[in-house]
Every structure is written in C-alpha cells, then in structure tokens.
Amino acid sequence: MKGQYYRLFLSTAANPDKVIAAAKTMSLHGSLQTQESSTKDTTGDALEYEAVGQSYDISGSALMVHTDDTESTVEGMLLEDFIDWVKNQSLYWRICLCNSVNNRTITREIAYGTCKCTQLQMQGQNRQNAQFSYTLQGVGKPTICPPGDYCTLFVTKHVPFSSSIDVGKLVVNQFLRDIEIVGISINDTVQTCNDVAIAISNGNYYLIGTNTEHGITSPKGVVNGFVTYPDEQPLNATVYVLFDGTYYTIDATTGELEPYSF
Amino acid sequence: MNVIKGQNFRLLTNMGAGSIAAVPEETNVSITLTGNTEDTTTKDTEGMFSQEDIVSTAWSAQVDTYQADPEQLKAILSVFIAATPIAVGWDQTAGSQNSVAQNANFKRSGQALLNDFSMQFDDRAIVTTSLQFQGTGALS
C-alpha cells in the first residue's frame, strides 16, 4: 500500500475510465468553511465553531507522454485526453489502490465523485522530462466506498478452454454501482455443463444458474469456491445485470454492455 | 528535570467513532492555544501601556502522518464529509513508540472540526496526510 499504488482514474460520460499515465504525484485536499457560532448563551470564554461549507480538490502531476510517442508504452489518460476532455465537461474521478506499481488492477476503491478540471499547466525545460500538472475542483459530495476489497465481476468458464473474463472493468467504465445479478442465459444447447458462477473477487461466489435453466433464472446462492464443470467444453454465457431500473447484458466475449428488455 | 521530547507528545482522536486514541502513524504534531485579547484601556488608565484582557479562547491542532491504509484514509474522508465535531486531544507517552500513556495531568481533550485535510500520494513509497482541526468549545 505504498504511495505509487494509489492511482487516480478519470472518465467522462463518453470516455472510458483511464488511469493517469506516467503519473508523478497526486493529492486529495479538502477544507471546511467554518464560522464562529458562540453567542451570549455560550458558557465560558472558549469560542465555538460550526461548519458552513465544504469543498475539495485533487491535484497532481504527470510526465508528458503522447499517443504518437513511439517510445512510450505507458497506457492511460494523457495530456491530450485532458485537453479534449476538459472542455467544460464533468469528469468522474476515482482514487483506487492497485495491486502493484505497474499493474492497474484495482484491489481497493477508496472514493469517487465528480469534478471539473480548473487548471492545466505544462512545464517544459531545455531537457527532457516535460511534465504537466492539473487541478480538479470537486463538484458536490464525494462518495466513500464501502470497506473491503474492490468487487470485480467476472464470468467463469470451464478450464482449460477458457479463463476468467473480467467484465469488472466494463462495470467500472460505466460507473455502475450496486449491481444486482438477476440471471444468466446459457447459450449452450449441445454441451452438458452443470453450473455457471459469477464470482466477486472479495471471496463471495454466487451461483446463479445452471444449463438446465435456459433463459433467465434468478436463484442467488453463495457457494464456497468456484463451481467446476464436468466437461471441458467452453461455455457461452450471457450475464444480465440490473442497474437503476434497467437491465443490461454483458457479452462475456466482447464486454459490450447493452440495455435489454425481457 | 524530566524533558518532554518531541516523540513523547501525541495527538489523539476518535475519528468520529469509538474511544479517543493516538492518530496512527503520526509524525509532526502541533497544538495552538489562543487567547484573544481586547485592549481595555480607558481614560482612567495610567501610563501608555495597553491593558489587555482575554475575552475568548480558541484552540486548534495539526498533525502529519504516514497513513497508507485505505480504511484509515476512508475514515478521514468520512469525518470530513460529516463536518461535525469529533473528539480530539493530546497526551504524553512514556517512550518513543507512542504506545504507553503517562502523566495524566498533561492530557487534554475536546471537540474539534476537521477543517482541512490533504493526502499526498507520491510516486514512491510514501503516503502522507496532513490534518488540521479547529477546536470548538472548551478543553477538558
């Protein structure tokens, strides 16, 4: 849980969640506006204060790397993205704890909210290491994420033909929260497979359907560990999620999220 | 004479819940007690020196920490968002490890607002936080 493990992710409604590429520093700052609330009724001479306003901002710096920089292999949000994205757009921010320095796999999500970029500054020298710095002014109240590991949804298929397909990234990109698994469709009419599991990376595994339940099923039960399949055939599964009153499907292969009506 | 060393002086909070305890991984601490004065000089005062009288008192505290634990960072955010006073105080410890309290006469506590915080995540191993508290009401 070192400093460099904490990363800032940004997105807009139209652009996916991106970590700040080649980030150097990042800080979260908040302040209360207080006013003295002592009155003639106050006992003693100690002043009393109350909070009357709140604000926060995020600032940081990163090296300037570019999409056409053939030497750069750093993925993430670049200065070009900032310039394109900050045209009076609301940005969504998240501060997450990743599992290693260079791996952007999120293990804990700390907080998220909405902000606007109020300043971009580029600093260049007569040498390399050009940097830019940014200031993001928070809009409204940030949300603190619940304790525990970050939940990543993924669909499991049977080994050895498949590996876990991470659709959690898609979920993050769409800023979906409080996802409820409502069913699963198994488009497999030939192979005999037993159970399909959706796993959440905090250790809970939800058994949500079997191959005998073609179409929508809704049993949700916690099982201890991954469900294994008796055969070794790949499974083509569709996951349905419910968010904000709308059902979506997630294609386990492409990761596309589509509104769905039953 | 027993000298109170820097590391023997620690800030305590309950971060909005539970009992008051030492702030985890704290480094620098400062407490400021302020007596607000008013010049009570009148026409009857002899000489030119002002006659200051303390009409109100205030206190504030500031602490820097190394705090990389995500749950501790969330706790700071929670206190900030709640914007209500929490328990804040200070005491003296017996050694340099901030663990064993001593000298109960030195301990003070009160209610304070977390009126400013910052968390710095650099590109190396350190996460630092800086917390500023505005005391509200008297110390006990």
Residues in chain A with CB shorter than 8 Å from the CB of B131 are: none
Alpha helices by DSSP H, listed for A176-230, are: none
Query: Do A116 and A139 touch, CB atoms closer than 8 A?
Result: yes
Give B-chain residues touching A45 at CB under 8 angstroms.
54-57
| Phi, psi (degrees; rounded to nearest 5) at B104 | -60, -25
Digitized pLDDT (tens) for each residue of chain B, 140 residues in all = 567 777 788 899 998 788 888 888 888 999 999 999 999 999 999 999 999 999 999 999 999 999 888 888 999 999 999 999 999 999 988 776 667 777 778 889 999 999 999 999 988 878 999 999 999 999 99
ipTM of the modeled complex: 0.85
The residue among A133, A146, A109, A108 whose CA lies nearest residue A22 is A133
* Closest CB to B57 among A6, A37, A45: A45
Tell me which residue in B58, B81, B122 faces A47 most closely, judged by beta carbons: B58
Q: Do A108 and B68 touch (CB under 8 A)?
A: no
- Does B17 reach chain A within 8 Å, measured CB to CB? no
Q: Number of A:B CB contacts under 8 A?
A: 117
pLDDT in tens, chain A (262 residues): 688 889 998 887 666 678 888 889 999 999 999 999 998 888 889 999 999 999 999 999 998 887 776 666 677 888 888 887 777 678 889 898 887 777 777 777 788 888 999 989 988 877 777 899 999 999 999 988 766 555 444 443 332 222 333 333 333 233 333 344 444 444 433 333 344 444 333 333 344 444 333 333 333 333 223 333 333 333 344 455 544 555 555 554 554 556 766 5
The domains located in chain B, with CATH, are 6-33+59-136 (2.40.30)
Integer-rounded Cα Rg, in Å, for chain A is: 23
- Cross-chain Cβ contact A34/B134 below 8 Å: yes
Contact B136 A50 (CB under 8 A): yes
Window A:185-244, CB contacts with B under 8 Å: none
Answer whether A46 sits within 8 Å of B117, measured CB to CB: no
Task: Judge: B122–A31 Cβ closer than 8 Å, yes or no.
Answer: no
Length of chain A, in residues: 262
Look at B81 and A54 and tell me if their CB atoms are within 8 Å. Answer: yes
Domains and their CATH numbers in chain A: 3-144 (2.40.30), 153-260 (no CATH)
Annotate chain B with DSSP letters as a single string: -----GGGEEEEE-TTSSS-EEPTTEEEEEEEEEEEEEE---TT--SSS--EEEEEEEEEEEEEEE---HHHHHHHHHHHHHTS-EEEEEEEESSSSS-SEE-GGG-EEEEEEEEEEEEEE-SSS-EEEEEEEEEES---
Q: Per the structure block, which two tokens stand in for B37? A: 């004065």
- A121 CA to chain B: closest CA distance, Å? 18
Tokens of B55: 């009409």
Helix runs in B1-140, H state only:
70-82
pLDDT for A146 equals 64
Q: What is the pLDDT of residue B113?
A: 97
Question: Which of B36, B119, B126 should one mutate to test binding to chain A, selecting the residue with the greatest count of A CBs within 10 A?
Answer: B119
